[in-house]
Chains A and B, each alone.
Chain A
Amino acid sequence: MRQYLHIKGKNLWRMCACLIIGIALACCGEEIAGIDQPSTAKAGDILPVTVHVNIPTAGNGGPDYLVLGILVPKGWKIAQNTTITYTSPQGDGTMSLIPDGSLPTKGGGLTWSAYMKRTFGLAGNLIDDMEWVVFQTDKPYAHEGGHTITGDLHIKMKVGADGNNTLVKIGYAITDTGNGLTSDQFGTYYSQKSTDCFEVTGGTGDLIDFCNPQLTVLDPPKSLDNDIVTLTFDGAVVNTPVSAEPEVYLCATAYTSDGKTIVVCEQTAKTLMKQTTATSKRYQITFWPKAFFNTTDAQTIIKMEYHITNKAGTSRVGYGNTDAPFVYTFKCG
């Protein structure tokens, strides 16, 4: 009897050991080991990026294709301006854009782009004018053999195609077509990393800063004077000349296509910015620029300069917490 129990215990230990080794082998799916990316580039440049990946193949499965998502400003249109090749001990090849019609199996009906956005969001960026552009390898690989494939993804993408100077944390995510963005008892089958703030210089447009909290943000980020825009002033970012004020107002000047300037700088219900919640220190105003500035049908507003003022109109805050105005250019690109 004692001997029997002893054998049973031995088996238990063996089972445990096997399980631990099994988990260690199968643990963790695709992993981004590192990203080599310059910290700055000129608008319109082709940015060379290398993403180093590790792909453990212990958990049997597949063959699946490796998937790479890149998070960038929409205006860069990298879906049309990117080539990706890869090198690995299992062979080299190219990666191509996954068409919207090809849905991830575990994405609940979302496209790959929407699936990544739901999972990773803006990956540390603050303005929702970015997109995940998703690519996959031309050849699949099997999850077997118990070894780790190491490979490099060589990305060449055009940055700043919209001509805007930009500060942005470019995001990278990898997974495979079989598992998608899931985890199970063997580990996590995806990996996401964002770079530090990357800078595009030499552009002709306004600076768009996705990285740092802004005193004011306009939503939608790209709009025309015939859109309805929401301007948010975030008084919590830094102390400003209007910080102690109970009410803040918008004081703005529109520049029109026919060379006119229209000033709306009154402290009335029309320009009052409402606090989003009682203590948020975030103040919002939503308006239709054409009506706000009362333009004629023939006039188009090209840009708007503005300050945030107190009720008396005596204190005001502008760009970078200075007296210079904030500038917003009405354009779609």
Chain B
Amino acid sequence: MKRIYQIKTLLLVMMVAVLATACKTEKVLPQKEALKDITGSWQVIKATRNGTDLTAIIDFSGFKINFTSTGYALVNKMPFLVEQDGTFALDDPEYPYKITFTAAGKTPVATAFTYPIVNGKRQLSLTFSPGCANNSYVYVLQKTN
């Protein structure tokens, strides 16, 4: 009888041991998403107003947005989210989907943006309404070389 108990205990211990080691936790290597760095000088390569392409009918070539580590500066201004230079912030440096511009002395203005790679180059696509709220503009920006 005692022997049977011993066998049962042994079985129990073995079962616990087997169960405990059955599932091995895989160590997942943390895939660190690169921080999105938008510093640099950006220019408009495509612009639309309510879906109408404006790129060929108004000159955007002089307009640039210079992002630095401390803020942004507008060169040869065009209608934009903000009218003055100031600071900016991304909501998440790894997966940003919102950018907030804060012109000096003004309230922050945020807009959704996309950051795709097209033909090997990063693009910034911003949607906003600088005039009437019903008029929607999309600027596609690319870094100048």
Contacts and interface: CB of A to CB of B under 8 A. Distances in A.
A228 B79 contact: yes
Interface stretch (A138-146, A218-226, A319-327): A218-226
Interface stretch (B15-23, B27-35, B50-58): B50-58
A124 B62 CA distance: 40
A227 interface: yes
B132 A222 contact: yes
B131 A74 contact: no
B57 A227 contact: no
A222 B79 contact: no
A184 interface: no
A286 interface: yes
Interface string B36-60: 0000000000000110101001100
Contact of B130 (A220, A227, A284, A287): A227
Interface residues of A, number: 19
B133 A332 contact: yes
Contact of A220 (B49, B77, B78, B79): B49
B144 interface: no
Given A228-B49, A228-B137, A297-B83, A223 B57 contact: no
Given A226-B79, A226-B130, A220 B58 contact: no
A224 B58 contact: no
A288 interface: yes
B57 A286 contact: yes
Interface string A289-318: 011000001000000000000000000000
Contacts of A297: 83-84
Interface in A196-229: 219-220, 222-228
Nearest to A285: B57
A282 to B, nearest CB: 13
A149 B132 CA distance: 45
Nearest to A290: B79
A169 B50 CA distance: 23
Given A226-B79, A286-B58, A220 B50 contact: yes
Interface in A43-98: 74
Given A220-B49, A288-B79, A228 B58 contact: yes
Contacts of A224: 131-132
Given A227-B130, A288-B79, A297-B83, A220 B57 contact: no
B135 interface: yes
A256 interface: no
B70 interface: no
A230 interface: yes
B132 A286 contact: no
A220 B135 contact: yes
Contacts of B137: 228
B132 A332 contact: yes
A225 B79 CA distance: 9
Contacts of A226: 79, 83, 130-131
Interface in A222-250: 222-228, 230
Contacts of B133: 332
A286 B47 CA distance: 13
A117 to B, nearest CB: 13
A227 B79 contact: yes
Given A220-B49, A288-B79, A297-B83, A227 B58 contact: no
B134 interface: yes
A79 to B, nearest CB: 14
B132 A287 contact: no
Contacts of B84: 297
Contact of A284 (B57, B78, B131): B57
A284 B57 CA distance: 9
A54 B129 CA distance: 44
CB-based closest 4 A-B pairs: A227-B131, A224-B131, A332-B132, A286-B57
Given A220-B134, A220-B135, 9 more contacts: A74-B134, A220-B49, A220-B132, A222-B134, A223-B132, A227-B135, A228-B58, A228-B137, A332-B132
